[in-house]
Amino acid sequence: MSYAKRLKAARKHAKLTQGELAKKVGITQTSISDLETEKSASSSFNASIAMHCGVSAIWLETGIGEMTNLHSPPAQQAVNGNVEGEPVPIKEGIVPVVGMAQLGSNGYFEALDFPVGHGDGYVQIYSNDPNAYALKVVGDSMEPRIRSGEYVLIEPNKGYVAGDEVLVKTLDGQSMIKVFMYCRDGEVRLLSVNEAHAPITMLLSQIDRIHVVGAIVKASRYVSI
């Protein structure tokens, strides 16, 4: 089943018109129509579309698995009985992997910079940032916080505060994942995730972008395409 047919099936499952779904997601009815007539290949709003239609975001994007998660087994009770209350439902979603962070001994890495939504598979995690993307981490310069083979979720449209991990790309093309400390008097102070690397201070004018790291994702949550 094509993406267009899956989208149409999801919308009918939710009993929504094209206009109603478009309004909920925050896009135009024409965009929904283009997707359902295969004028567009896919949408960066898939997670939101899936949520409003009550279907699996992974199924909508890739066709993998079932359309809904109604038959998912209940969470097992903790063996030692020290967990109270009902399980909290986690929103499902997928984020494209757009490159690899090949880490070096100096704490920098080379990041492939594909357009968002066009990359090498997906990681199963929810983000309400429509431009969220993920990078695969290779190397040990960020251990033990981030291990080789794991993924980092990057959310370009979200803010960050002192203590947050961020992806920093400089104007001369260097990329790194650091802990943001402060921006003061035109300077940005960054700490290293791995304590083996010293803190650095950079001029704000030297930085092309700073994107917050929304999550560290285990390799088991990767889905190929």
The enclosing domain of 217 has a CATH number of 2.10.109.10
> Crossing angle, helix 3-13 and helix 46-53, to 10 degrees?
40
Closest CA relative to residue 57, chosen from 115, 128, 116, 141: 128
Q: pLDDT at position 40, please?
A: 62
Q: pLDDT at position 223, please?
A: 82
Q: Is the pLDDT of residue 203 over 90?
A: yes
Q: Which domain holds residue 33?
A: 3-62
Render pLDDT for 38-50 as a digit per residue (tens, 0 to 9). Answer: 766 555 677 778 8
The verdict on 115 and 218 lying in the same domain is: yes
The verdict on 203 and 99 lying in the same domain is: yes
Q: pLDDT at position 109, please?
A: 60
The verdict on 200 and 147 lying in the same domain is: yes
Dmax (CA) of the chain: 56
Residue 49 contacts by C-beta under 8 Å, 6 or more apart in sequence? Answer: 7, 10, 21, 25, 43, 60
Does residue 156 belong to any structural domain of this protein? Answer: yes
- Bridge partners for 165 per DSSP: 179
The verdict on 58 and 98 lying in the same domain is: no
- Bridge partners for 217 per DSSP: 151
- Single pTM value for the model: 0.60
The verdict on 99 and 200 lying in the same domain is: yes
Q: Can you say how many angstroms the Cα of residue 29 is from the centroid of all Cα atoms in its chain?
A: 25
Give the C-alpha separation, 50 to 48, whole Å. Answer: 5
The verdict on 45 and 119 lying in the same domain is: no
Does residue 78 belong to any structural domain of this protein? Answer: no
Q: pLDDT at position 79, please?
A: 41
Amino acid at 149: G
- Bridge partners for 133 per DSSP: 154
Number of domains within the chain: 2
The verdict on 38 and 145 lying in the same domain is: no
Does residue 87 belong to any structural domain of this protein? Answer: no
**What does pLDDT average to over the chain?**
78
Render pLDDT for 74-102 as a digit per residue (tens, 0 to 9). Answer: 333 334 455 555 555 556 788 888 877 76
Residue whose structure tokens are 């920098």: 108
Mean pLDDT computed over 191-211: 85
The verdict on 54 and 103 lying in the same domain is: no
* Banded pLDDT at 172 (limits 50, 70, 90): confident
Give the C-alpha separation, 120 to 133, whole Å. Answer: 11
Count of C-beta atoms within a 10 Å radius of residue 89? 8
Q: Is the pLDDT of residue 212 over 90?
A: yes
Give the C-alpha separation, 199 to 211, whole Å. Answer: 18
Residue 58 contacts by C-beta under 8 Å, 6 or more apart in sequence? Answer: 64, 65, 92, 94, 122, 124, 223
